[in-house]
Chains A and B, each alone.
Chain A
Amino acid sequence: MPREFTPKVITANTLLKGDVVYLSEADNWTPRLAEAAILADEADAHLRLLDAAARSHEVVSVYLTDMTPATSGPQPMHFREEFRRTGPSNYFHGKQADLK
C-alpha cells in the first residue's frame, strides 16, 4: 500500500526582501501561513511546486514543507517552519512584528 502523503504547503523567500512567503490557493505569494494553500494530493503538490519554482523573478528557494491542517490554517510540523513563520526569538523582528 502506498505511504500516505503528508499535506504540504509551498514556501519560498521573496527575491527583493528575502522574507518568507507561502503560495495561496489563488497562486499568489502571501506572507501569512494561514492563507497558504494546503496541498493534500502528491501529484498536484509536485506540479504546483514546479510552476512556483519557475517564478524566479518573484521568489527564491522554493520548496514543499509538511503541515498539519487545522481550522486556523496549516500548522508547521517542524520547528524550523515555526521559526520561519514567526521570526527570531531574540528580538521582536520579522513576521511577528510585521504582521501584527
Chain B
Amino acid sequence: MYTYTEFDAAFVAERNRQFRAQVARRVDGSLTEDEFKPLRLMNGLYLQLHAYMLRVAIPYGTLNATQMRQLAMIAERWDKGYGHFTTRQNIQYNWPALADVPDILDALGEVQMHAIQTSGNTIRNVTADHFAGAAADEIADPRPIAELIRQWSTDHPEFQFLPRKFKVAVTGSEVDRAVTLAHDIGLRIVRRDGETGYQVLVGGGLGRTPMIGKVLHDFLPEADLLPYIEAVVSVWNTIGRRDNKYKARIKITVHEHGIEDIRARVDARYALIRPQFTGVDQQMLGAIRDEFSAPEFRVAPSNSYDAARKTDPVFRAWADTNLAAHRAPGYAIVSISLKAHGETPGDASADQMRVMADLAERYGHDELRISHEQNVILPHVHQSDLPAVHAALRATRLGTANIGLISDIIACPGMDYCALATARSIPIAQEIAVRFDALKLEHEIGEMKIKISGCINACGHHHVGHIGILGLDRAGVESYQITIGGDGGADAQLGDRTGPGFAAGDIVPAIEAIMLAYLAHRAGPSETFLATYRRLGMAPFKVALYGEAEAERSRRKMEAHVTA
C-alpha cells in the first residue's frame, strides 16, 4: 500500500502544527468561534450533540495493522475505548476533548493518517471498492487512481471553497461495491477491445434530492482522467449554485443544465487545461501503482479448511456468508461483521481493533479494509488459515455470520450523536437485528440490505437500501418512513416510499410485516426480496403494512392517475 513520501509527511506535520496553534488561539480567546469553526472543520472536527467529533480519513478504506493499532490506541487514550466506522470509509471518534485533538492528529500523523478534508466544502476522502486488489471479478485495482486523486485534491488551491462538498468513488469491478452512481463523480474502470479506461459518472448523490449519476464520458484513457476530473470540478466550481445550500451539489447543476450542456462545458474547459498536464501526474501514478503491487500469494493445501467445513457447522455458516471469491487460488476475502446482533453498526472497541490488526498481520498480508457497509475486511487470507481466523474473531464477538443479511444494517449515528439528525437510527438497527435473530428468519430471508438514516441528508444511504428507513421529526415525535426496492449496485435505483411513516415502536413490526409478505409471495427460496418486489410491485407490501383498504385506495388513485 501507499507510504508517505517526505513531502507528504512534512505537509501533514505542518498542517498539524498550524492546527495546534489555532486551537491554542481559540482557547486563549484570540480567535472567535466564527473564525475558528472553518479551521476546525478543515481538520475534520465537528461539534455534535454531546461532544466534539473527530472524523479521520481512511483513504479508499485501506489500513495496515500498525494503523489499526494506532486507531485503537487513540480510542483508549483520548476517547471512550471505541471508534465508529462510517459509510464513507472513515472512522469517527465521538468524545474527544478540544485540547486533545492536536495530539490525536499527531498520533495519526505517526502512522501516515490525517483528518484533512473530511469536512467542509472540499473534495472529501476518495472511496473505493473494499475488495480492491483482491476480488476475483476485478478488472484493475481502483486504489492507485484513488490515491492520485487524493494527492491532487488535497489542498488543491482552486478547490478549497467549492459550492458544497464533493465526493468521488472508484470501482475496478463491474460488480459495483462502491455505489459509484450515488457520488458527485463515480469512476468505473472498464475494458474495451483489450484497452483499459474509465467510465465517468457525474451528478449522483443521495440527501434531500436523491439522484442517480449520469454517464458524462463513456471511455476515457487513463492519461486523460485527472485533467478531465479537474475540468468537471472546475466547471461546477464556476456555475454551481452558491445562493442556496440545498441546490449547490453538482447533481443539481447537472439536473438544471442538462448533461449535454455540462459535457460541452467540461470539454471546453478540458481543452484549455489539458496541455498543463505534461505527464507528471502519470509518472506519479506509476510510482503509486508500484506501491499497490499484489502481495506474494502463498501456494498451500486447503485441507484444514475443507476439514473445518465438514466438522464445524458454526464455521461453515460463517464461511458461507462472510467469505467472497479471491482472485488468487486458495485465497478468500474475509468480511468481519461489525454487526453482532444488538450492537451498534460500525462500532469497534479498541480490543476488537487490535484483534483485527493482529489477524491482518499474521494471516492477511498486513492489510485491512473498511467497507462503506461499515464492516472490516481482511482482503487476503489463505483458506488454510480461515479456521484460526474465525476462532480468533469469535472470541472477541466479531464472528457473526450475517454479511449481506437482514442484520447487516447500515445506520448513521442519528440523534444519539449527530447534531443534524431528526431522529435516532442506532436503536432501530439494534432492534431489527435482535428481532430477526430471535425469529431465526435471517438465513431464510437471504440477501437483504436495510439502510437507516436519521435525517434527510442520507448518510445511512436509505434511498438505495432494499429497505430504506428514514427517521424524521413529526410534530415532536420520532417517525420513520419506509422505502423499498432501492439498490446501490451497478444498476443503482432509488427506493419507493411505501406510504405513511411509523412511530418508533411500530417500525420493527412494520419491517417484520414486509418480510413475512416477501416470504409468502416469493416464487421460491432463490428469488430475492428485490426480485420479488420488481416482479410484484408495491401492492402486496402495502397490504402487509397498511391493510387491504388502504392498499385498494392507493391502487384506485394510481389507476385514476394513469387513465388521466
Contacts and interface: CB of A to CB of B under 8 A. Distances in A.
B97 A16 contact: yes
Nearest to A62: B33
A87 interface: yes
B426 interface: yes
B29 interface: yes
Interface stretch (A1-9, A44-52, A72-80): A72-80
Nearest to A14: B98
A20 B51 CA distance: 8
Contacts of B207: none
A88 B430 CA distance: 14
Interface stretch (B42-50, B63-71, B259-267, B551-559): B42-50
A56 B33 contact: yes
B99 A16 contact: yes
Nearest to B343: A90
A83 B416 contact: yes
Contacts of B427: 89-90
B32 A18 contact: no
Contacts of A93: 50, 80, 95
A94 B50 contact: yes
For the residues of A in contact with B, the DSSP-based class is loop
Contact of B51 (A17, A56, A90): A17
Contact of A16 (B98, B426, B430, B476): B98
A80 B415 contact: yes
B251 interface: no
Contacts of B48: 18
Nearest to B50: A94
Nearest to A59: B33
A88 B32 CA distance: 29
Interface in B176-221: none
B27 interface: yes
A60 B16 CA distance: 23
B47 A61 contact: yes
B425 to A, nearest CB: 10
B80 to A, nearest CB: 6
Contacts of B99: 16
B453 interface: no
B426 A89 contact: yes
A15 B98 contact: yes
A100 interface: no
Given A89-B426, A89-B427, A57 B29 contact: yes
Contacts, number: 71
B51 A18 contact: yes
A18 B97 contact: yes
Given A17-B98, A89-B424, A79 B49 contact: no
B496 interface: no
B150 to A, nearest CB: 29
Question: Which of B49, B99, B415, B477: most chain A CB closer than 10 A?
Answer: B49
B424 A17 contact: no
A13 interface: yes
A72 B32 CA distance: 36
A79 B477 contact: yes
B50 A87 contact: yes
B329 to A, nearest CB: 42
A33 to B, nearest CB: 13
A90 B389 CA distance: 28
Contacts of B426: 88-90
B26 interface: yes
Given A60-B33, A90-B344, A83 B47 contact: no
A32 interface: no
Interface string B64-108: 000000000000000010000000000000110111000000000
Nearest to B95: A93
Interface in A53-100: 56-57, 60-61, 77-80, 83-84, 87-91, 93-95
A35 interface: no
A90 B80 CA distance: 13
Contact of B27 (A15, A80, A90, A91): A15
Contacts of A61: 47
A93 B48 CA distance: 14
Given A18-B97, A88-B417, 16 more contacts: A15-B33, A18-B51, A18-B98, A56-B32, A56-B33, A61-B47, A79-B476, A80-B49, A83-B416, A87-B50, A89-B416, A90-B344, A90-B347, A90-B416, A91-B344, A94-B51
Interface of A: 13, 15-20, 56-57, 60-61, 77-80, 83-84, 87-91, 93-95
In order of increasing CB-CB distance, the 5 nearest A-B pairs are: A88-B416, A18-B52, A18-B51, A94-B50, A90-B344
